[in-house]
Structures are given as structure tokens and as C-alpha cells.
Structure 1
Amino acid sequence: MKVIIGSENPAKVAAVKNAFNMTGVELLAIDVPSNVSAQPFSDEETIEGAINRATAALEQGDGEIGIGLEGGVHMTKHGLFLCNWGALAEPGYPPLIAGGARIPLPDEIAGKLLAGRELGPVMDEYTKKKNIRKNEGAIGIFSNGQIDRSEMFTHLTKLLVGQYEYRKGNGKNL
């Protein structure tokens, strides 16, 4: 089975490798656009980005499955939270969707995002590191290293793989 990952981000690629840890699976990472804002600002927009990545990966990568993973933020009455969504696309079926971990962002980070900045560069400035989004991510920083971005997306991808296996094993159209 050939699985196309709709991103070359190392944290996302590692997550898909972890979730599809089985024989007979070929993984290919390609850079495809999410066709949403650089900083998705709602669950809906983040889901749309994941679906767009999964669909584009499937179409452009000549595989049997396309995986799209997207990180974003979502405003609640309790503040601005990290959100992350994934989608699995396969021909002839609607995309499977799963969501993952959420934690609130500190006010100083949230304020910069609400002012129009993107989380990745804000986190690089905040931590004085480079490419936080390709490594531990904001989730890794604000969970004090308990969960990193790859682990977060691995959990999400396992939810997608489980739904896929269920659909295949039971003939259900999830």
C-alpha cells in the first residue's frame, strides 16, 4: 500500500511513519498546499486544511491513501487553544477526519496571533530557537516536553488509521 503524506514537515512525516508501522506500506512525503490561511483560526478552517492536504496528496502522489495533517488555533471562552486535525483520503470514499490534543496558549502568544502573526515564527522568537514547528512544536514547549508535535500528530494519525481499518473490515462508509 502506498501512503502519500501531504507535507514534508519532519514532525508530520514521523507521525505518519509511527502510525503506519506495518510491513508492506510505502510512504511518500510531498509538499502540497493546505489552501487555507497560513495560520488557521478555527476548527473548521484547520479541518479544511487537513482535508485539502489529504486530497491533494492522493491526487498528486499516485497512492492509495492521502494523509493531511494541519495545526491551527481555536478561540474559546477560555482563551485561544492549539488545535490539530487530520484527514485520510482514499478513492471512492469521503475523507476520514480526526482531531487531537488541545491546550491553551499563553496570553502573550495568543495576542500576537490575534494581531495577525503566525504561530511558527512567534514560537521561534519566543523560544529563541529555529523551526519549532518542525520539531517539538508549541505543544512541546507548553507541555514542558511531555508531548511533542510528532507525538501529537501520531495520536491523530492512529485515529485515522483505526477508522480506515474499521471501514475496510466492516464495509462501513464512515
Structure 2
Amino acid sequence: MPTKDLVRTHDLEIIVNSIVTKLFQRFESTMDKKHNTKVAIVQKEMQEMQNKCKALSIENEELRKQIDQTRDVVIKKKKDLEDSTRMNQEAITSANYMYNEQYSRKNNIKVMNFPRREDQNLLSDFIETVKKDLNVQIEERGVVGNHRLPSDKPGPKPMIVRLFNSDVKRKVMVNRKKK
């Protein structure tokens, strides 16, 4: 009779199976819940990352547009600067030319009503006239050049005389005013 009190092995297997199955189902359920929670967290983080990526992509595109606009402005300003530099160089060259031209005329004298005659040597006639009329000693080497200017007015055409230095010109002009 000791076996009467004993549970049969088969019944015991069924009870153990039932307990193990329930435990396994609880474990599975718990694991599913934890897994689903983790998956939801990861999905939420991925969604946030996608939103951040979209925002960064939009910001990147805006920055590219700004860079393109800035590049266009820089190119235009560079062209304007090159044009300004070229015009500045032209202005400097022109100003230097005008200054040099004006400076080169510094020693010139314009002589009006200088008598004209056939086979005239303007240089020697001018030097003789200055020596005689103005009492200024001038030598041939003191005169760099001379020529008559075109004129539509009747009478002798005006003459330009370029002197070697301004001292001779000053003497001629001072003595001319005295007469």
C-alpha cells in the first residue's frame, strides 16, 4: 500500500509539463513585453534621427544656396574690383601723361607776331631778337626746338620755342614785361 499514496509518474509528468509550460509562457510573455518595449524605444530613436537628418538636409541645402549666392556676389565684386583697378591704372597713366605733357611745356614760350621772311632760320632769328630787343644772352644750345603753329588769322603765324631750362625762360619773360 505504499504505492497508493504515491503519485503516478505519468501524472507527475503532466503536472511538471503544465508548470513548465506556464512558466515558459510567462517567460515568453515577459520577454515579448521587454523586447517590444526595447523595439519601440529604438524605433522612436530612429524616427528622431530621421527627423534630425531631414532637418540637417534642409539646413544643408539652405547653406548651399547661401554659399552659391555668396560666391556670385564675390565673383561680381572681384570683377568690379578688377574694373576699378584697370580704370584706376588708366586714370593714373592719363594723369601722368597730362602732368608730363604740362611739365614738358614748362620751358616753352609762345611768340606772337614774330616777323616772317623768305628762307628764314627761325632759331638764329629768335636768338638775335632776344639778344637785341630783350638784352638776354641766349645761346643756340639753350634752345631745344622751335616751330611755327598753324593759324587761320592773317599775319605771321605764332611760334613755339622750347628752351633748355626755366632760368632762360624766366629771364626772357621778365625782360619782355619790362619792354
Regarding TM over 0.5, the answer is no
Structure (1 or 2) with the larger CA radius of gyration: 2
User: TM-score, length-normalised on structure 1?
Assistant: 0.20
Structure with larger RCO (C-alpha < 8 A, sep 6+): 1
Which has the larger share of helix?
2
